[in-house]
Amino acid sequence: MRSRALTAFLTVLTAVSVGVGVFQPASAEVGFAGGKQKLKGKVSRDMMEADDLLSKGNWNDAADAYKKVMNKDAKNPAAIAGYGMALGKQFKLDAAEEQFDKALQMDPTNSVAHAGKALVLMNRLASSNMTIRNQRDSMLKQAENECRMALQKDPYSPEAHYQLAQSLREQKRFDEAINEYNEAIKSDPKYSEAYAGLGMLKLDQQSLGEAEGAFKQAIQYNSGNSTAHYGLGKTYLKMGNVDAAIKELNTAMYQNRNSWPTHQAMGEAYQAQGNTNAAIAEYEKSIGIKPENPEAYLHIADVLEGRGDLEIAISKLRGALALMPDNPDLHMRIGDESLKLEKLDDAIKEYETVMNTNPGNAQAAEGLTRGYFLKAQKESGGAFLVSNDFEAAKRQIDKAIQLNPNNMELRLAAAKIRSLSGETIDLSTIGTPKTDGERMAYAEALLSQNKFRESQDMMSQIIASAPDAKQTFAVADLALMIHDLDNADAAYKKAASFPGGEERAKRGSDLVAKAREGARQDLTLASDLAKRKQLSSAIDKYHSAIYNNPRNYDARIGVAEALEKSSPAQAKYFREASIQLKAYMALRPDLPPKEVEKLNKRIAKDDEKAFKLEEKARKG
């Protein structure tokens, strides 16, 4: 079906193409003598044939057809612009731009040439060239302006409306983009690319039903539209229909072997099936085509993490950072993986890097406090610690809260880090968590205050509400990361009940058992060292036992006794002894009243000794 513009322009001997608005200029000679009339009719038929090929997506054949017209009429701007469009659709961008410039020199108002200039700009944005990527915003605006100039001449040009929609979509002006896609479809109801573009926008908005319908219409009008097959495959993948997704993605890949998004989506499909080797192979192909795409590296890290190959995952992510040194997602992921490997200083550094460029990043703030929480466990057995870096972290989180005053997770991060520095924070003043993310942050904040029962209740609620394997594993992995072993074990057991989760759950449960055994061995060695009066070494081993299992109450009371006996006496020893005794009591709610009274007196005595030693130190 031809566009509405065709009828209007035919009345003035203007041939309008389907899909791109190519027209023969008014300056073309119209003769009535036999020779000229015959030549004119032949050129017009050849132009219509070329336009038809272009509208059907036969770019190479269309280019040949336009060259045939140009051989007969070298100064035909409509043919020149059409030829440029055929080249541009094949990503022969320099050659295409040359043709558009030539057409505009002959006819500055040529709508096809202006739309073509926009096409070239939009296609150049797919480049890995850093110079082009740094000019992204200005190029999008330039493409928008070219489209608007095209529409001034030909308001019914489907290609101009389509390219305008593409530019607006990339500028995140989604409502305007939808309107332009629909205008393109109104001008040509069989315009496959406009349906595919609309489908991609709906897919981005998670409107999967609308996306599916748009992609199917695009394929109906042009079965060779690789973008539509790719988009339909991605839609099916999000719907959970992996087999249908692979079928569509295979079609898209056959039509366009060099599409990095298609290879990435195929990797996601294989990963969903558990075919991890094939998934990594597809992600690597995607990277080979577009090396600066962070998502492919992050997907590879997902696969490697699932296998337990965290060191290799970090190596891959650092390779990506060499290409994209300022990418916050890569820094965040390296921070997360470093935490799991207990490379705490590395993790803290990565989170700080993210917060330096994005001070309001709640995820980075939470990671930063998690890193310091583990560092406190490792260096002081859960007692508070003080350092210049620690104070800098508090300032960073305070700045993040200023930028996001209503973010509960940030406020909880601040509470947690202040608890680690010895401040008393009333968590009830922060509010009631409403999401699992807030509940997890709340549970960690409770744990940082040694409120073990309350933290346990919150974690149990989170585990119970986890709807699938992915989210359950996320909870289990986080609990293991902070050495909340009881809850990690419970979450891994639940994850094992989901299809395909048994193997990974077993690896997680084995890590929980390893941490428990490590804590047991450290406690045994610490007790032996304490009996031999090797208190400094005993304290280190008690701290290690607490780090591996913060709920190890025997290690808590053991380190308190060692600290109280340490010589020379120091205020920090008695401060920590007091904290460890309180933690012991929180972990032993079944203690008899007399024992509780005895421990409270001991805590008060430790606090008093710490105060006196601090006063003595102040007086010199």
Question: Mean pLDDT over residues 398-409, rounded?
Answer: 84
The tokens for 559 are: 């380190």
pLDDT for residue 15: 32
| Position 13 confidence tier, pLDDT thresholds 50, 70, 90 | very low
Going 484 to 490 to 496 to 501, the CA torsion angle's sign is negative
| Position 23 confidence tier, pLDDT thresholds 50, 70, 90 | very low
Q: Alpha-carbon distance 170 to 161, whole Å?
A: 14
The residue to which tokens 């993040």 are assigned? 400
Residues 6+ apart with CB under 8 A from 241: none
pLDDT for residue 424: 74
Q: Alpha-carbon distance 313 to 296, whole Å?
A: 12
Question: Mean pLDDT over residues 507-533, rounded?
Answer: 95
Q: Which of 51-60, 257-266, 546-555 is the least confident region?
A: 51-60
The residue among 570, 589, 556, 584 whose CA lies nearest residue 377 is: 556
The tens digit of pLDDT for each residue in 277-329 reads: 999 999 999 999 999 899 999 999 999 988 889 999 999 999 999 999 999 99
pLDDT for residue 384: 53
The tens digit of pLDDT for each residue in 120-166 reads: 998 888 776 777 777 888 999 999 999 999 999 999 999 999 999 99
Q: Alpha-carbon distance 343 to 422, whole Å?
A: 24
| Position 206 confidence tier, pLDDT thresholds 50, 70, 90 | very high
pLDDT for residue 390: 67
Question: Which residue type sits at 291?
Answer: P
Question: Mean pLDDT over residues 466-489, rounded?
Answer: 91
pLDDT for residue 241: 96
SS (HEC) of 418-445: HHHCCCCCCHHHCCCCCCHHHHHHHHHH
- Show contacts of 250-257: CB within 8 Å, 24+ apart: 251/226, 252/226, 252/227, 255/224, 255/226, 255/229, 256/226
Query: If you ran DSSP here, which 8-state letter would residue 32 be given?
Result: -
Single pTM value for the model? 0.75
Residue-by-residue DSSP string for 498-563: STT-HHHHHHHHHHHHHHHHHHHHHHHHHHHHHHTT-HHHHHHHHHHHHHH-TT-HHHHHHHHHHH
The residue to which tokens 């808590």 are assigned? 556
Mean of pLDDT over the chain: 87
With b meaning 16 or more CB within 10 Å and e meaning fewer, what string describes 322-341?
A: ebbeebbbbbbbbbbbbbbe
Fold for domain 1-188?
1.25.40
The tens digit of pLDDT for each residue in 416-441 reads: 777 766 677 788 888 888 888 889 88
Query: If you ran DSSP here, which 8-state letter would residue 427 be given?
Result: G
Give the distance from CA 92 to its chain's centroid: 31
Q: Alpha-carbon distance 89 to 350, whole Å?
A: 42
Q: Is 559 a residue whose pLDDT tops 70?
A: yes
| Position 30 confidence tier, pLDDT thresholds 50, 70, 90 | very low
Cα atoms in the 13 Å half-sphere on the side-chain side of 324:
20
Q: What are the residue ranges spanned by the domains of the chain?
A: 1-188, 360-491
The tens digit of pLDDT for each residue in 348-391 reads: 999 999 999 888 888 898 888 888 888 877 776 555 555 666 67
Q: Alpha-carbon distance 384 to 398, whole Å?
A: 19
The tokens for 169 are: 């979509």
Query: If you ran DSSP here, which 8-state letter would residue 17 be given?
Result: P
Q: Alpha-carbon distance 251 to 265, whole Å?
A: 13
